[in-house]
Amino acid sequence: MANHVLKGSERKPLKGARSLGKADPTERLEVTVLLRHRAADALGDHVKKLMGASGRPAHIKREDFAKQFGAEPADIQEVRKFASSHSLTVVQEDPARRSVVLAGTVAQFNRAFGVDLERFEHEGGTHRGRTGPIHLPDELNGKVEGVFGLDDRPQAKPHFRGQLRGNVQWHTASNSFTPIQVASLYNYPAGTGSGECIGIIELGGGYRPADLKTYFAGLGVPLPKVTAVSVDHGKNQPTGDPNGPDGEVMLDIEVAGAIAPAAHVAVYFAPNTDQGFLDAVTTAVHDTTNKPSVISISWGGPESSWTQQSLTAFDQAFQAAAALGITVCVAAGDGGSSDGATGNNVDFPASDPYVLACGGTSLQASGNSITSETVWNDGAQGGATGGGISTFFPLPPYQEGLSAALTAGGSEQLAKRGVPDVAGDADEDTGYDVRVDGSNTVIGGTSAVAPLWAGLIARINSTNGNPAGYVNPILYPNQADFNDITQGNNGTFAAATGWDACTGMGSPNGTKIAAALTGAAAKHKK
């Protein structure tokens, strides 16, 4: 009997959603069951040591991670027995990802997990959903840490800006840049990313190889190897609508690929649900075929829109990435200090302390020199860099003693994780020349900043022959390696000397960043 509440699994309806009645009991779905870590305490100790800037432990190899910290075989067997007792089918087991995927009908899952699935209508369409918590039987209580896929509401938004406001035409910037020009303005070190793999997470849309061929030929750089990886039946499916997710996919590939053209770009396509998003991240982190050393994520949503089980599960995935020596770069959002919700909000997964949260600036240049750089904020009807203070994640050691300057004056001492860590050009008026669905255009948004940083990390990793890994504890003591942004605000928070909740430590001086990471990378040989 499923009589134990799964902690943190409580769901509330989307704002403005209304129930259309019970979900079709014969509808088939797949659900991911997330199991506890083996040797969780040892993994926790390992990751805590990575928080320090010196004396950090060596990175763990992917092959060893599954043996040391993957799911217990006995726990997987319990899920198999549970599935059999409810006539559910086991369709996938992955000990490294600690996941077991089950297939069955709505009626079977209702009984198995003590839920009552319904159909809901919301502003963006309809979805299958639930309210309240998930329940577990005695034999799974304490062994299962999350159940994902019962609810298939859209979870995240892409963080790119490319439209004329109120119109479907593409925006044309007066002062746009190619990714190569931005890298030059930020003094990126020479390099091509040879031997590295950049993982990119996408929750919709797709790319057209012909567009990539045309784009990179126009830049005069080699066409990168791009591979689509299917997660939870997600696929490379261009919509033909450049205002849709295709813009996100092409921006990510073109920015990262232009900066690191010799790197292999692996694009993980998954459905836009909490299940799809999590499974894409864990697939990339534990991918023993493509082995990305850096992952770029340009999707997210306000922390308040996530369940606690999701926040915790993603955090565990990012801790695993840190232990494996993978750098995760995440866009901080385009909704300013509110993140498009009520009050102050930070965007997740950028707010996780194990990722490099990437905020946005407005960049002006003359020739090969930056003439000004301020916080990206296009006003109430435009976009603005995300940033602020988490309500969920504790203050990481590398941010101790920092304060967030307030637009109204004064500052707020950080009591929890501050966002972002770093920044880069994101203003659509000073955006990136890209190609989407057969058209050349200009796109901005913090979506561009995550692959911009991922490309830098790929160059550094390639040159060093070692992965930089979890870079936050290394970068914070080296704030002189950044272009400090001291003008502008994102709503509640203002730019200030040093770290601030708009642009973090600032935009990169790539050569100095490379020097700071080189010493650390030498201690983490593969």
Q: DSSP labels for 488-508?
A: -BSSSBB--SS-BTTTBT-EE
- 210 and 116 within one domain: no
- 171 and 207 within one domain: yes
- 249 and 117 within one domain: no
Let me know if residue 302 belongs to a domain: yes
Token pair in block for residue 183: 């890298």
**C-alpha torsion angle, residues 223, 188, 425, 274 (rounded to 10):** 60
**pLDDT score recorded for residue 2:** 64
Using DSSP, state whether 404 is helix, strand or coil. strand
**Per-residue pLDDT tens digits for 329-346:** 999 999 999 999 999 999
Sequence-distant (6+) residues with CB within 8 A of 270 are: 201, 202, 203, 231, 232, 234, 276, 277, 279, 280, 283
Q: Compute the C-alpha angle 102/103/107, nearest 5°.
A: 115
| Identity at 287, one-letter amino acid code | D
Residues 476-501: what's their mean pLDDT? 98
| Identity at 483, one-letter amino acid code | N
- 387 and 491 within one domain: yes
- 137 and 174 within one domain: no
Residues 473-494: what's their mean pLDDT? 97
Q: What is the C-alpha to C-alpha distance for residues 372 and 97, in angstroms, rounded to an integer?
A: 44
- From 148, 177, 211, give the residue that closes a domain: 148
Let me know if residue 42 belongs to a domain: no
Let me know if residue 47 belongs to a domain: no
- From 89, 122, 148, give the residue that closes a domain: 148
Q: Count CB-CB contacts under 10 A for residue 526.
A: 11
Q: What is the C-alpha to C-alpha distance for residues 251 and 58, in angstroms, rounded to an integer?
A: 34
Confidence of residue 512 (pLDDT cuts 50, 70, 90): very high
Q: Count CB-CB contacts under 10 A for residue 124.
A: 10
Residue with tokens 């100790």: 45
- 141 and 169 within one domain: no
- 192 and 126 within one domain: no
Average pLDDT, rounded, for the chain: 94
**pLDDT score recorded for residue 333:** 97
Q: At what angle do helices 62-69 and 40-50 cross, to 10 degrees?
A: 130
Let me know if residue 56 belongs to a domain: no
The catalytic site residues sit at: 248, 252, 447
Q: What is the C-alpha to C-alpha distance for residues 222 and 213, in angstroms, rounded to an integer?
A: 9
Return the higher-pLDDT residue of 416 and 379: 416
- From 119, 148, 177, give the residue that closes a domain: 148
**Per-residue pLDDT tens digits for 131-143:** 999 999 999 999 9
Q: Count CB-CB contacts under 10 A for residue 395.
A: 18
CATH number, domain with residue 205: 3.40.50.200
Bridge partners, 374 (sequence order): 362
Return the higher-pLDDT residue of 525 and 171: 525
Confidence of residue 88 (pLDDT cuts 50, 70, 90): very high
- 266 and 242 within one domain: yes
Q: Is residue 31 predicted with pLDDT exceeding 50?
A: yes
**pLDDT score recorded for residue 1:** 59
% of the chain residues with pLDDT over 90: 89
Q: What are phi and psi of 303, to 5 degrees?
A: -50, -40
| Identity at 16, one-letter amino acid code | G
- Give per-residue burial for 218-249: e unless 16+ CB within 10 Å, then b: ebebeebebebbebbebebebeeebebbbbbb
Residues 202-212: what's their mean pLDDT? 97
- 217 and 169 within one domain: yes
Residues 371-380: what's their mean pLDDT? 93
- 221 and 98 within one domain: no
Within the chain, how many helices (H) and strands (E) appear?
12, 28
**C-alpha torsion angle, residues 60, 66, 72, 74 (rounded to 10):** -160
Q: What is the C-alpha to C-alpha distance for residues 298 and 275, in angstroms, rounded to an integer?
A: 17
Let me know if residue 62 belongs to a domain: no
| Identity at 191, one-letter amino acid code | G
Parallel, antiparallel, or unpaired for β 197-202 and 294-297? parallel
Range of the domain at 351: 157-522
Residue with tokens 């990471």: 517
Q: What is the C-alpha to C-alpha distance for residues 370 and 186, in angstroms, rounded to an integer?
A: 8
**pLDDT score recorded for residue 174:** 59
Using DSSP, state whether 357 is helix, strand or coil. strand
Confidence of residue 100 (pLDDT cuts 50, 70, 90): very high
Q: What is the C-alpha to C-alpha distance for residues 502 and 491, in angstroms, rounded to an integer?
A: 9
**pLDDT score recorded for residue 185:** 98
Token pair in block for residue 224: 């990168």
Q: Is residue 76 predicted with pLDDT exceeding 70?
A: yes
**pLDDT score recorded for residue 54:** 75
Confidence of residue 490 (pLDDT cuts 50, 70, 90): very high
- 506 and 393 within one domain: yes
Number of domains in the chain: 2
CB 102 within 8 A of CB 31: yes
- 188 and 133 within one domain: no
Residues 253-282: what's their mean pLDDT? 98
**Per-residue pLDDT tens digits for 141-184:** 999 999 999 999 999 999 988 743 322 333 444 589 999 999 99
Let me know if residue 54 belongs to a domain: no
% of the chain residues with pLDDT over 70: 96
